[in-house]
Amino acid sequence: MSATAVRSPVEFESQLQRFRYERMEEARAVRVGEKEVSESAEIVARYAELFTREQRDALRDAEEAAEGDDRERLYRLRKMCEAGLVEREIAAAADALENKLLAARVNFRGEELPLRAASARVAVLPAYGDREELGLLAAERSAELNDDRMTLLRRTEQLEADVSGEPDPIARAEEEKGVSLGELAAVLAEASARLTDAYVAMRGRWLDRILGSERDETPMSFHVGYLRRLSPLASTYSKERSVDVCLETLRAIGFDLAEQPNIKLDLDDRPQKSPRACVIPSDPPHLVHLITRAQGGLHDYQAFLHEAGHALHYAGSNDDLPFTFRAIARDHALTEIYSFIVEAISRESGWHERHFGLSREQAAQNSEAASLVELLLFRRYAAKLQYELEFWGSLGENGGMADRYSELLTSATGIRYRPDAYLSDMDAGFYSADYLRAWVRSSQLREHVRRETGDEWWCDPRTGDLLRSLFAEGTRPSSEQIAEQLGFDPLDTGPLVRSRGA
């Protein structure tokens, strides 16, 4: 490595901001199908001078001499430098895997479908047998890339161990997140167990209704997308109305998304556009992209509201904060609180009644279906965290992990997850734990907001005021600090369990 100039922390932060902007704009172009080839490795190479061991050491020295918020800011900058060091090494391999995924096709009844389009299509096929057939084709095609996934995963893990000096991936994640993952998993397993009766009762009712009586007792996970749309009710939750209804929903709590110039909406339908909605905060609070692809069904509304929560959070951060505290968090647990609470509006019976012309009874039923799906996801994630702890705890001799994945997820959900999805169904850095912390926290926040505004919290502008004051803090606080601000113990799952019928 050449002896390049080491930047001061302030200089490093300002160049990191530019690097991040370029990276995110590139990721956005690929994600939305504007570009067919991912070239993020080229951007990483161009900013290579930011990501050196000398720079990392300089940031660490500054960090050790600092206190309070400054120390935290320098810690996050150092972590970004370390992540960049890892990425420089793996960017080409990561691009290669991404490009293989983009190029993968499945042949479904004479039609060549890109793998991503196939996964999206499964969710909208009306016939049970068709979903099984296309779901299986897509799953098998995806599993062909498992060796590439495993190679990349091991290489990344080695580099992270080396760059951070912490060889244990679980200890490393715990240090960054500032929580004990074992403790979190135990508390969540208990919450999940307390919700088993409620889950089993709702599951039986709604699986029959949505998947039909010819369904398997334990249906394949291919049907989850269809389930999330509440497909037989798709005419109620039409694709055409989703944006308008969501914008109106947000206006009711005091946010005018369409009038916020710093939030760019991309709602178009393109063949290579990923069906997963997302927010790309390229330069918060000035430029935040909200990307969705409506397919019809309730899930469109939920995905839009979820991403709107993220977008409003980033776009609502106080511009006076240093860049680090507007854009960089230790993990995703903070921003997911805000996506979860906005999405939670879609489980309010009153919301279904107000926007879809339903009777009170019908609205209550549909909101129960939405709650079932949410509980399914919660139980799936609690099981996923358990699985990921086992996976990372035994990396190297993880022979039985594919079966373990299937066993844990299937028994938690009553939906069959294929063993060979054990790598594709895993996000980096224990994202599952971040989601779960957000599940706990957003339930606490909802309880707090309800205390302040009442049962109609979901259409009360005071809800927006409460959220706005949290958004202004940007990415500075941890999820656990928000619990403190709200007066809850970070691991108090009471609000989560109470609001979900147990």
Applying CB under 5 A, which residues contact Zn ion? 339
Amino acid at 299: H
What are phi and psi for residue 493, nearest 5 degrees?
-95, 5
> CB neighbours of 234 closer than 8 A, spacing ≥ 6?
296, 297
Looking at the Cβ atoms of 85 and 312, the one nearer to Zn ion is 312
User: What's the closest the beta carbon of residue 206 comes to Zn ion, in angstroms?
Assistant: 24
User: What's the closest the beta carbon of residue 69 comes to Zn ion, in angstroms?
Assistant: 26
Q: Please report where in the chains the tokens 């609690």 appear, as a residue.
A: 382
Looking at the Cβ atoms of 221 and 339, the one nearer to Zn ion is 339
Classify residue 416 by its DSSP letter.
B
Strands (E), 58-161: 105-108, 111-114
CB 448 within 8 A of CB 501: no
User: What's the closest the beta carbon of residue 346 comes to Zn ion, in angstroms?
Assistant: 14
| Residue in the shown chain whose Cβ atom is closest to Zn ion | 339
User: What's the closest the beta carbon of residue 438 comes to Zn ion, in angstroms?
Assistant: 8
Looking at the Cβ atoms of 79 and 276, the one nearer to Zn ion is 276
Looking at the Cβ atoms of 220 and 291, the one nearer to Zn ion is 291
**Dist. CA 49–CA 44, nearest whole Å:** 9
Looking at the Cβ atoms of 108 and 471, the one nearer to Zn ion is 471
> CB neighbours of 479 closer than 8 A, spacing ≥ 6?
333, 334, 337, 434, 437, 438, 441, 490
The side-by-side arrangement of strands in the sheet containing 278-283 is 263-266, 287-291, 278-283
User: What's the closest the beta carbon of residue 327 comes to Zn ion, in angstroms?
Assistant: 16
User: What's the closest the beta carbon of residue 178 comes to Zn ion, in angstroms?
Assistant: 20
Looking at the Cβ atoms of 58 and 303, the one nearer to Zn ion is 303
**Dist. CA 206–CA 369, nearest whole Å:** 7
User: What's the closest the beta carbon of residue 340 comes to Zn ion, in angstroms?
Assistant: 8
Helices and strands per DSSP (H, E), number in the chain: 22, 5
H/E stretch holding 280 reads: strand 278-283
Token output for 180:
């004990």
User: What's the closest the beta carbon of residue 309 comes to Zn ion, in angstroms?
Assistant: 8
SS3 for 398? coil
> CB neighbours of 444 closer than 8 A, spacing ≥ 6?
483, 486, 488, 492, 495, 496
DSSP for 221-276, please give it. GGGHHHHHTTGGGTTTS-TTTHHHHHHHHHHHTT--GGG-TTEEEE----TTS-SS
Looking at the Cβ atoms of 339 and 444, the one nearer to Zn ion is 339
Using omega within 30 degrees of 0 as the cis cutoff, is the peptide bond preceding 285 cis?
A: yes
Q: Nearest-5° angle of CA 406, CA 209, CA 224?
A: 30
Looking at the Cβ atoms of 80 and 341, the one nearer to Zn ion is 341
Looking at the Cβ atoms of 335 and 453, the one nearer to Zn ion is 335
Looking at the Cβ atoms of 9 and 309, the one nearer to Zn ion is 309
User: What's the closest the beta carbon of residue 103 comes to Zn ion, in angstroms?
Assistant: 27
User: What's the closest the beta carbon of residue 339 comes to Zn ion, in angstroms?
Assistant: 4
